Amino acid sequence: MSTVLDKIKAYKLDHVAACKAARPLSAVEAAAREASPTRDFARSLMKAAETGYGLIAEVKKASPSKGLIRADFDPSALAKAYEAGGATCLSVLTDTPSFQGADDYLVAARDAVLLPALRKDFMYDAYQVAEARALGADCILIIMASVEDTQAQELEDAAFSWGMDVLIEVHDEAELERALALKSPLLGVNNRNLKTFETTLDTTRRLSKLAPADRHLVCESGLSTPQDLADMAEYGARSFLIGESLMRQDHVEAATRALLANPVPA
């Protein structure tokens, strides 16, 4: 049976082929070389996590599981609200149509602030990594559920060659094992199964026990309260990737601040 992830992968590969035909890799690489210097995504998270929580705040208009999340959607205003509320980094969905994202949203959000930004998309080809850098991205996502090992390695190598960081995303034990063959210290545990959309913080509870000490755990999806963060901190998570619950707030800055207000449990 084909899953949502399979469908996204199929249209994304078509999209990348069309992009390559319209704009050769050499042109994208030239643009990437001219892009704004990278901001230190991984280091910022680790530093924030020394004294509190690292927060990757996501600019997310819609999702395949929830449909439209935020009608009043202004990426630069949202980025500013996140920054003012204490977020460490941004994540900006560029995928469309599933997430109703756009490359321009990433450019606008990052330009509005000083925070490092993740291009949140489904990556399969080094071409997309160069594109990400040309858009200003400081980090890319590798979803282990959707790539082969060699592909993951190519994506990571390409990101490092552009001076970008890499968030490696896993959802089960087998993916985590495969992720450990890569070098990036940022290990994201997605609490949402991208094939069924089932979301449970038990995923982090389970996988955190298998994460080596030299990886920085990023707990992703399904988080909405300061209590969720404190709960996940008991399992070693100090950094969080949060979208929907913040995107549904009228006052994003205040909500971001409130989410981060409680101290990390001793």
Residue of 106, 107, 152, 241 interacting with ligand IGP (CB under 6 A):
241
117 and 89 Cβ atoms separated by less than 8 Å: yes
101 in contact with ligand IGP (CB under 6 A): no
The stretch near ligand IGP (CB under 6 A) out of 70-78, 175-183, 229-237, 238-246 is 238-246
Active site residue 120: yes
Tell which residue, 188, 241, 243, has the closest CA to residue 217: 188
Q: Which of 9, 12, 60, 61 is flagged as catalytic?
A: 60
Active site residue 60: yes
Distance of CA 21 to the CA centre of its chain: 27
Alpha-helical runs (H) found in the chain: 4-22, 25-34, 41-51, 75-85, 103-111, 126-134, 149-161, 173-179, 202-207, 226-233, 244-247, 252-260
Residue of 44, 94, 208, 221 interacting with ligand IGP (CB under 6 A):
221
75 in contact with ligand IGP (CB under 6 A): no
Tell which residue, 249, 264, 263, 265, has the closest CA to residue 82: 249
Q: Which region holds residue 197: left if phi is over 0, alpha if psi is between -120 and 50, else beta?
A: left
228 in contact with ligand IGP (CB under 6 A): no
Residue of 162, 165, 222, 233 interacting with ligand IGP (CB under 6 A):
222
Q: How far is the CB of 192 from ligand IGP (least distance, A)?
A: 6
244 in contact with ligand IGP (CB under 6 A): yes
Window 140-159: residues binding ligand IGP (CB under 6 A):
143
92 and 101 Cβ atoms separated by less than 8 Å: yes
- Please give the positions annotated as active site: 58, 60, 120, 169, 190, 220-221
